[in-house]
Amino acid sequence: MRRLLACLVWLMVAACNRTQAGDDASGTTGSPSTPATKAASSAPMRIATGSIACEPQAASPSAAPALSAKGAPIEADTPGSDGTRMFKLDSPFTIAFTTRTSADDTIVWQLRDDRDAVRASGRTKVASGARTTTLQCRSTLAGYFALSAKLARTGDALPVRGTRPAGIATFGVLPDVSSVLPPVVYAREDQHRFGGQGTNYLAPGQACCDGDGYRPLYTDLGLSWANDNRNWYMKEPERADTFKPGVDTLAPYFRKGDIMRLIQLDGIPGWASATGKATHSYLPASETAYGSYMRRVGTDSSLIRNEYFPRQANNYYQVTWEPDPDSGLPWRDSDAHFVALYRATYEAIHATDPHAVVMGPTNASVRENTRWLKRLAPLGLARYLDGVAIHGYYDIGCSPSHPPERLTTDSDPAKAADALPAAMRELRRTMAQYLKPGAKLFATETGVSYDVGTSYGPDYPKQDVLFAHGAVVARTHLIMLGEGADTTFIFYSSDPPDPPPGYGLFFNLAETKGGYGASHISPKPAAMAVAAMTRLVDGTTTLGYLDDVPTGVYGYAFQRLNGGKVVTALWTHNNADWNTSSGFSETYSVPYSLKVDDDGASGNVTVLDTMGNAATMPYHDGRVALRLSESPIYVVSTNASAMKSHVTAPAGYLGR
């Protein structure tokens, strides 16, 4: 990315987190592949019905590369992927153990899923010396898998690697939901609903920041949007009229046309600033010079759209970036000048780009965006907004112990209003009051970290933290979309270096404190939950939130484009079973009966777990009996009218 990402992360951390407080495989026995299920009382229903099978692979000494005798006694990896350490469903993949022993030994290994259930296990003998031993595997089960392994004789286990704790190596199996939900036909490319932040240079020979940092990661995960910089201070840092519009200004990695641009405009160069320094805090000294640059950006975007994104209805511009007073890019000027900045931007961009959608103010938290709209709309800001861009932070710490529903049941109404569902509804009502019908709402950054005060290390994060992190990432973005965001951007691709730790969907395997532009990564549960969520919810319009849910149950219905099937995401949350002191429960569950058809009707629906594994379930009298946990599930049904009868659509939302 061409923005100084350290600055962006610092900004977001400051706004969101001001205050807040390896599995042991020694018991593994039996055959090379032994599926098992973790017992749990009152456990949620198990949807996944697939399995993993792994068998020892015959060694080929002549083809094996020479191994260094230096290194950890035992290491493990999954070579052969596209760099993401994710594999296609029901396709072969390899697990490779590297051992360095002074005597013959035995590798004792297990594969566990995101809920810590053992899915396969075995024992593999290894001879002394530096050797590579492989298993050939195939999985009909999608999701996240943690491989634990240790040497039976010495007790040595897998070491820390980057931000990944000791004791595990991780990989993912991508879901395939095409038999349940055939691919969507998009009339316009910008109907896609998921974007991301962060680059990873995974192709052989690439390193930060040379090459394509978005592929294959974004396309594997199902992310279709990324930031593209047209900031004035970046493009004309020294003097005016040096930026020349044209299709050649587009970075090569955008020219494939499958990852769309959110065009960044924030920031003024020093030569055009009243302060004499580059700034995000003040109106430019010359509106004429500013307007000239923005008109050229509009021309540039229009040319690029025609050449590379002809199926994209609009170009989307974000004017400011977290102008909050306590951010790293605060607005220090007057409210009148803030409105003047938007007026100048809106008029100049629209003068040369007939497909422009100008958005802001992009404050750090959902409610802060609402406050700014309420304060500035009477001054004229709404006239210069085609849509609203926000960052979707919702709590003092967006983390496993501070999930988006945490404050929903707070006895203080002022605190309950900060819960993400309530904050989004307030924002949508404010948009409906001040902006034109159908105005776009883009959540252009929302991330979930580990808890504040924690740090990467051999024993952190634990398995329940990883499970909770994945569940909260999915729930947060489902709420954003279910409460009326057109598009949501997931922060961050792999672990960045700034505190609090853990924002990444992937571990950074090269740097123990995280970094930018990593070339070696492995998935967390969050990555695989996102891969399933995009496949199920992308290509939909939002129907709304379920009206008939009891306290602690959350549900959002989406309909596939072109009058397609209905996908309903559901989960439950209980603060008492979800915190750092008691742990993040994988077994807490509640019953719920979902209306999927007309009263009196019977039939079957498909239910998918967080990782995209499907099962068929019967329903009677129009309702299917479910057992919900803290990890979202998805119900696919066909009667849209029945679903619409018990949902509330977001205020002012017209779909796309």
Q: What is the pLDDT of residues 293-343, one digit of tens each?
A: 999 999 999 999 999 999 999 999 999 999 999 999 999 999 999 999 999
Give the pLDDT confidence score for residue 86 in this predicted structure: 98
Residue pLDDT, tens place only, 243-294: 999 999 999 999 999 999 999 999 999 999 999 999 999 999 999 999 999 9
- Using an 8 Å Cβ cutoff, are 46 and 30 in contact? no
Q: Stretch 197-206: mean pLDDT, rounded?
A: 94
549 and 533 part of one domain:
no
Task: Provide the whole-model pTM.
Answer: 0.93
Give the pLDDT confidence score for residue 41 in this predicted structure: 39
Model confidence band, residue 68 (pLDDT cutoffs 50, 70, 90): confident
Give the pLDDT confidence score for residue 25 in this predicted structure: 32
504 and 631 part of one domain:
no
Q: For residues 158 and 94, give the distance between their C-alpha atoms in angstroms, rounded to a whole number.
A: 17
426 and 300 part of one domain:
yes
Considering the domain boundaries, does residue 229 fall inside one?
yes
Phi, psi of 234 (to 5 degrees): -85, -40
585 and 487 part of one domain:
no
Q: For residues 303 and 553, give the distance between their C-alpha atoms in angstroms, rounded to a whole number.
A: 47
Burial of 195-217, coded b for 16+ CB within 10 Å and e otherwise, reads bbbbbbbbeeebebeebbbbbbb
529 and 595 part of one domain:
no
Considering the domain boundaries, does residue 224 fall inside one?
yes
Which token pair is 384?
């210069």
Q: Name residue 185's amino acid.
A: V
Query: Percent of the chain beyond pLDDT 70?
Result: 92
CATH number of the domain bearing residue 11: 3.20.20.80
333 and 418 part of one domain:
yes
452 and 503 part of one domain:
yes
DSSP symbols for 404-448: TTTTTT-SSHHHHTTSHHHHHHHHHHHHHHHS-TT-EEEEEEEE-
Considering the domain boundaries, does residue 508 fall inside one?
yes
pLDDT over 60 (residue 65): no
pLDDT over 70 (residue 13): no
Model confidence band, residue 18 (pLDDT cutoffs 50, 70, 90): very low
407 and 291 part of one domain:
yes
Residue pLDDT, tens place only, 455-512: 999 999 999 999 999 999 999 999 999 999 999 999 999 999 988 999 999 999 999 9
Give the pLDDT confidence score for residue 172 in this predicted structure: 98
DSSP symbols for 490-528: EE-SB--SSSSS---SEEESS-TT--SS-S-EEE-HHHH
CATH number of the domain bearing residue 635: 2.60.40.1180
pLDDT over 70 (residue 6): no
Domain boundary among 519, 538, 557: 538
Residue pLDDT, tens place only, 619-649: 999 999 999 999 999 999 999 999 999 999 9
530 and 583 part of one domain:
no
How many folded domains does the chain comprise? Answer: 2
Q: What is the 3-state secondary structure (H, E, C) of 47-90?
A: CCCCCEEEEECCCCCCCCCCCCCCCCCEEEECCCCCCCCEECCC
The better pLDDT of the pair 342, 36 is held by: 342
Q: Stretch 349-356: mean pLDDT, rounded?
A: 98
213 and 359 part of one domain:
yes
Q: Stretch 527-538: mean pLDDT, rounded?
A: 98
Show the CA angle centred on residue 440, arms to residues 544 and 177, nearest 5°: 55
490 and 551 part of one domain:
no
pLDDT over 50 (residue 162): yes
Q: What is the 3-state secondary structure (H, E, C) of 458-489?
A: CCECCHHHHHHHHHHHHHHHHHHHHCCCCEEE
Considering the domain boundaries, does residue 257 fall inside one?
yes
Considering the domain boundaries, does residue 155 fall inside one?
no
How confident is the prediction for the chain on average, in pLDDT? Answer: 92
Domain boundary among 473, 504, 538: 538
- Using an 8 Å Cβ cutoff, are 580 and 401 in contact? yes
- Using an 8 Å Cβ cutoff, are 514 and 620 in contact? no
On the 0-12 / 13-18 / 19+ scale of CB atoms within 10 A, 423 is buried
Q: For residues 529 and 631, give the distance between their C-alpha atoms in angstroms, rounded to a whole number.
A: 9
Considering the domain boundaries, does residue 493 fall inside one?
yes
Model confidence band, residue 66 (pLDDT cutoffs 50, 70, 90): low
498 and 572 part of one domain:
no
Domain boundary among 538, 557, 590: 538
Give the pLDDT confidence score for residue 27 in this predicted structure: 32
Residue pLDDT, tens place only, 413-425: 999 999 999 999 9
Q: Stretch 206-229: mean pLDDT, rounded?
A: 95
Considering the domain boundaries, does residue 156 fall inside one?
no
pLDDT over 50 (residue 392): yes
pLDDT over 60 (residue 352): yes
Model confidence band, residue 20 (pLDDT cutoffs 50, 70, 90): very low
Residue pLDDT, tens place only, 552-604: 999 999 999 999 999 999 999 999 999 888 899 999 999 999 999 999 999 99
Range of the domain at 335: 5-20+198-538
Considering the domain boundaries, does residue 288 fall inside one?
yes
